[in-house]
Structure 1
Amino acid sequence: MAGQRMSVTRRTVLRGAVAAGALAGAVAAGAAKPSRASADPGRRVAVLGGGVAGMTAAHELAERGYDVTIYERRALGGKARSIAVPGTGTGGRPDLWGEHGFRFFPGFYHHIPDTMRRIPFAGNANGVWDNLVAAPEARFSRTSGDDLIIPMGKAGRIWATPDDFRETVSSAISTSTKMGEVDALYFANRLLVFNTSCDARRDDQWDKTSWSDYVGSGHRSNEFRMLLSRTLTTLLVAAKDNLASTKTIGNMGEQFLGNPMEAGNDGPLDRLLNGATTDAWLQPWADLLHGMGVQVVNAEVRGLELAGKRITGAQIVDGSGASRTVDADYFVCAVPVEVARTLWTPEILSLRPELAGTSQLTVDWMTGIQFYLKNQTDIARGHTAYVDSPWSLTSIAQNQFWNRTPFSGMGDGTVQDCLSVDISDWNTPGMLYGKPAKECTHDEISREVWAQLKAHLDTRKDLLRDDDLHSWFLDTGVTWDAQQGRNANIDPLLINTAGSWALRPDTHGQDLENLFLAADYVRTNVDLATMEGASEAARTAVNKLLDVDGSNAPRCKLFTLYRAEVLEPFRQLDIARYASGQSNMFDAPA
């Protein structure tokens, strides 16, 4: 295979303006911070973690006059950041961009777009939000070549009755997927059951039910199982359909149904940034935070110190390897769940025993690899799902959307496109080496992914040609251990498995006064491990902090998920039915 892995250190941080400008000074421990007369004594906040949740919390708190310091072990943006590939830029061109995985901003996101509108960007009336562009279609590719191209634009109308819902949705499914009418109508009815279920049923019965059991995939056609059970869950949550919570998948399905009809949405269903995530969003955000007086310290959080009902300090190891304890009046814990649960001491758990449930939450891998191409590819004008791929691959050809930073102006000048691929299943054996991705070397991963892509696109050999491959880049969070013969991953993804809602904590507990949780594992309305979930959790945590502090500052804006108004009377009826042990009124036997 042409191309080779491009190495990068784990400490690579935001490129360009970061290295030369404001953020470069901020990430050094003890960097000078502009004075702020508005920061009163008793209003110092330590934000532990600088991903989307940590940056959101810092942003909201700084706007309200708090003195904020972010402690981040690598770089602002966390898993969302772009990763510069060192040494790839020549002739005055910047390095190529790599990413943990491609960014996706569904139209039903509200918290992230609200923040984007408040981040200035030169030439944009609506700030960073104007850097979002719509993807007009999605492709579902098969090894048989019988691919589906589905438009992502505005479509249909809002249904008027439950019967209308079933007929409209089943017709759309059978038309777009060529699925049999019986299966399509059955699935539409399962969606109707969920959409007319009350909150108590969703939080209990449906959260404890796996998606495959809920839709009865074992009794349906192969087309049904592949598209509506397996592919749907791996696309949304990188989980197997026999493990994923129906509450989570159902919530997302409800949003995707409403979005094309422009019901309760912020924009088109499928949106991407018009450049690398760092260039188009995170760097302007970091500049804004720096200008607001937010400090950023390169440090890893190792522990929390407790006295009475208050956290008195956070133990950190800074960028130089030195250990120390930092104090603050309030602590916002914005690290991911696999890190957070290592911080809960017996004393902390005695005050918030529900935090013990985080040790039972499941994390898995969903990680990206980028293939840099010498010619542009025309696979799809949007995202592609490779339905039969053992590793549950999805991809996006980025250059068609990157009008701000085209690939021709990066690297050595010969790269014309980048196929960014997400690997959602790291546990299933592949087709080349018969090993799961976790047990493949990085070179084997690149070859395996390339082979799985080509197996789906073989009927159109011009879409992906070996001669076009320039090089590739695998997310640096994945590291190969030759002695163990397997990979490690420092950036796993929370998976909402059946029954996990009860294990997830709220952002604050009154018995632990000054600790607030702001990450996608806490209970949120969006109920999904996403940037949107992280933003919602951070805003909720800040609102709780304002309550505890007795602040009269405006609370952070929170948004709710879309629900069809015409079905609300049936959800109200379901409250009494669920309380009395009855099934949903539309939940008839198959």
Structure 2
Amino acid sequence: MTDPIPIPTPASCDPRPTVAVLGAGIAGLTAAHELAERGFDVTVYESREDERNGLADAGAPGTYPPIKLGGLAASQYSTPGSDSGSRAELRAFPGRRGTPRPPKRAVAGEHGFRFFPAYYLHIWDLFQRIPVYEQPSGTGAQPTSRTVMDNVRRVVTQGQTVAGRPSLVFPRELPRSLAEFLSVISQLEKMGLPAHDIAFFQSRLLRFLVTSPLRRAREFQNMSSYDFFTARDGDDTPGYTYSPAFDAMLREMPRVLVAFDPNWGDARTNIVTYLQLFLNMTRRDDKADGVLNGPTTESWLDHWYRHLVALGVRFVRRAAARLEPPGAEPDRPPHLRPRVRVTLDDGTTVAPDYTVVAVDAPAAEWITAALRDAGTGGTVAGLDGFATLVPPPRGPLQPQQSRPAARRDPYVLDEVGRVPWDRFQTMSGIQFYFDTEFQLLRGHMYYAGAEWGLSSINQHGLWENRPNLVRDGHVSVLSVDIADFNTPSRVLRDESGRGKAARDCTPDEIAVEVWRQIVTALTSDVDNAPEELLPWPVWYALDRGLVADGAGQGSGRLVRNETPYLIPIVGDWVNRPGGDPWNPHGTSFTQVPPDEAWLEDLEHRGVWQARHGGYQVHHNSVVFAGTWTRTFTRITSMEAACESARHAVNAILDHYVWVHSGGRDRRAKTTLPWRFPYGFLDQGLSSPVRLPTPAGDYCYVFDVENREPADTRGLRMLDSEYCMRSLPHPIDLLRPPRPTPGGKQ
């Protein structure tokens, strides 16, 4: 037995280890929060300014944070006539009736709408640790006993339009009796969904639930969600054919959820997400399906900023231009070799002990080019071309060696998302503002059949400080997500008479056409939707990440999307940069390094990884976080961003211990030997068990697949044994063989 090695905590070091966090989105802020709580000296770098500081009516200079916090989750503030070049801001709705009242202060909008389903356990855990401050935008803000968790309001209903029929409204909870269950089935049948289709669909969901994560990784990541639901075999023959109405639903659902084509979407990610959204309804508390009680920035991010400042985090308005590799010193032990320098956009250089790269994938690829030139492997090498290579012409499973080497600008709209298997698509939002009360329902609305994959929510009905006409120029807000920028409109035409897709429109055209599709879906009149049934918007705001080429924001065609949306497509999980996620509880399937020789080879290429696996550390200093890394959440979301930051921080903790052990720490097991009665505890809002390290507790990590019903756990574990032996699923062994084309068994 070796002698124990005393490891100082980061807070007890003199000086404390420094961390530069590049990017102030959810991933960057989460990393800053977790590291600051463990004693690291953290500085966050972000190039964008908080928009309210540039608006005369928003408050005194310096009232708000010096940088924009939250990335895509942040609210977007604008006033009429505040066009910034060709950027989309608050604009009068084309064809409006009467003269709208201009707002007396900046109007808050969103990227789409903020939605916190029950399985966002990383976000819920975070919310419980951010105190609500009195007057968070003031100079003397003080914390209260409340937390941001208290700012979440439950969404109680969901609605869906049905072509030619009245819209359906369902409660966001499970049926409480047999009568309610039969009523739901009856309504589904009235939608044109036969009972036998519903039964087969449910059988496929059950089949997924009793399948082990190991088999899901080996089989379902290389299968589309449509193929899974139709039980398609290797010969491309569907095992089941749905009715036209149900088949249309299967093809539309993935578009609205995650903006991908069902024929190319990764079945594992799509179905895990669908199941979790359905399992929301099993919760009986007030956090089953929530939205904030005000604009995101005001209800969450302002309080978070005050708390991070109280923890000692500094914020600097600068962007990273490049990461520069340290000089080669092969004679020094690996744990003592120099670390990466960060050159900022003003030419200054900082040399932190650790750097968390929490920018989007294109920016991460560009600023790490010098590290790749220096021969760094791991995540850095995997970033090469991740955002800039054109998608393979023959589909996502085209062999790497035969793919074209052509590059593209991932922010140019014409160069991204033209084929459904492009890993980057456009998913964005638009806000409609009304000068009268307008609230469809207290919940989410899905517009079945809308060409552009639309869903919405009336957020203002859940806000504490609701807008009023005199002050805000509007009374109500409808927030709409646009998930499909490629399908042509059935009504809006170009000069040649062809239907126009959203990507080919001006902002004004998008606003009018989205509203037309909503009205058409709600009134069930495809050819002549009666406008008299609904109020017209007076203002609209298209997401600011969409940039038009005209002098005014409404007149020019869209040319850039500064927020490309990563989608999970068939066979692409292995192409995501970096290591697999690691759960400190030891209750998740994950890949681990095969042996010490493999780890030593990584170290020769400037990459360090803990023996138990997890995220990688480059040149003793650089880790990556963001929705484009590998997470248990898998889908691009606030939850994935928050989770990825926790994995990055856990990698830093492991690396910190390794360095301070003199490079001797190589434990495969780094956590206390807890035993859980069901094999997992990820069922509540957060785990009751925290796992310590000499540098501070590991960040709590939640595996979404562990939240599936405990009743299915036994078959999942049995299937894992079968899969490791290359055997079919136990259920498949009980199924009779399918008839051959000649009719023989």
TM bin, normalised by shorter chain, reads 0.7 to 0.9
Q: Choose the corresponding residue for 2:114, options 92, 99, 103.
A: 103
Question: Which structure 1 residue ranges, 5 or more long, are not aligned?
Answer: 1-35, 158-166
Deviation at 1:446, TM superposition (A): 0.7
Distance 1:400 1:242, change over 3 A: same
3-state SS of 2:131 partner: coil
Cα distance in 1, alignment partners of residues 104 and 623 from structure 2: 43
Q: Choose the corresponding residue for 1:457, options 522, 536, 540.
A: 522
In structure 1, the residue matched to 2:242 is: 220
Deviation at 1:347, TM superposition (A): 4.2
Distance 1:176 1:272, change over 3 A: farther
1:232-243 pair list within 5 angstroms: 232-243=253-264
In structure 1, the residue matched to 2:340 is: 312
The residue type paired with residue 282 of structure 2 is: M
Q: Could you tell me the percent identity over the aligned residues?
A: 32
Farther off after superposition, 137-146 or 44-53? 137-146
The reply to whether residue 363 of structure 1 matches residue 424 of structure 2 is yes
Q: Contact (CA 8 Å) 1:139, 1:150: kept in 2 or not?
A: yes
The reply to whether residue 545 of structure 1 matches residue 649 of structure 2 is no
The reply to whether residue 577 of structure 1 matches residue 636 of structure 2 is no
1:162-561 pair list within 5 angstroms: 174-175=185-186, 177-178=188-189, 179-216=193-230, 219-227=241-249, 229-262=250-283, 268-307=287-326, 308=328, 311-317=339-345, 322-345=346-369, 347-348=371-372, 350-353=375-378, 355-358=380-383, 359-360=385-386, 362-402=423-463, 404-408=464-468, 412-430=471-489, 431-433=491-493, 434-459=499-524, 468-482=536-550, 485-504=557-576, 505-506=578-579, 508-509=615-616, 512-550=619-657, 551-561=694-704
Structure having the larger proportion of residues in helix: 1
**Relative CO higher for 1 or 2, CA cutoff 8 Å, sep ≥ 6?**
1
Deviation at 1:257, TM superposition (A): 3.8
Deviation at 1:93, TM superposition (A): 4.8
Distance 1:536 1:176, change over 3 A: farther
Deviation at 1:175, TM superposition (A): 4.3
The residue type paired with residue 244 of structure 1 is: G
Distance 1:357 1:233, change over 3 A: farther
TM-score, length-normalised on structure 2? 0.67
Q: Contact (CA 8 Å) 1:170, 1:185: kept in 2 or not?
A: no
Distance 1:226 1:149, change over 3 A: farther
Deviation at 1:357, TM superposition (A): 4.0
3-state SS of 2:158 partner: strand
Deviation at 1:79, TM superposition (A): 0.4
3-state SS of 1:376 partner: coil
Q: Contact (CA 8 Å) 1:364, 1:492: kept in 2 or not?
A: yes
Q: Contact (CA 8 Å) 2:133, 2:306: kept in 1 or not?
A: no
Q: Contact (CA 8 Å) 2:21, 2:31: kept in 1 or not?
A: yes
The residue type paired with residue 196 of structure 2 is: V
Distance 1:401 1:514, change over 3 A: same
3-state SS of 1:351 partner: coil
3-state SS of 1:41 partner: coil
The residue type paired with residue 369 of structure 1 is: I
The residue type paired with residue 406 of structure 1 is: R
The residue type paired with residue 488 of structure 1 is: R
For the aligned residues, what is the CA RMSD?
Answer: 3.1
3-state SS of 1:444 partner: helix
Q: Contact (CA 8 Å) 2:323, 2:370: kept in 1 or not?
A: no
Q: Contact (CA 8 Å) 1:260, 1:268: kept in 2 or not?
A: no
Deviation at 1:413, TM superposition (A): 4.3
Cα distance in 1, alignment partners of residues 170 and 160 from structure 2: 8
Q: Contact (CA 8 Å) 1:156, 1:260: kept in 2 or not?
A: no
CA offset digits 1:101-140 (Å, max 9, x no partner):
1000001111111111111115874401011011111111
The residue type paired with residue 190 of structure 1 is: R
Cα distance in 2, alignment partners of residues 495 and 39 from structure 1: 42
Deviation at 1:91, TM superposition (A): 9.8
Deviation at 1:230, TM superposition (A): 2.8
Cα distance in 2, alignment partners of residues 525 and 502 from structure 1: 14
In structure 2, the residue matched to 1:564 is: 709
Deviation at 1:259, TM superposition (A): 2.8
Return the index of the structure with the highest Cα Rg: 2
In structure 2, the residue matched to 1:149 is: 169
Cα distance in 1, alignment partners of residues 133 and 16 from structure 2: 36
Cα distance in 1, alignment partners of residues 184 and 215 from structure 2: 26
Distance 1:216 1:459, change over 3 A: closer
Q: How many residues align?
A: 537
Cα distance in 2, alignment partners of residues 135 and 311 from structure 1: 48
Distance 1:156 1:244, change over 3 A: farther
TM-score, length-normalised on structure 1? 0.84
In structure 2, the residue matched to 1:65 is: 39
3-state SS of 1:147 partner: strand
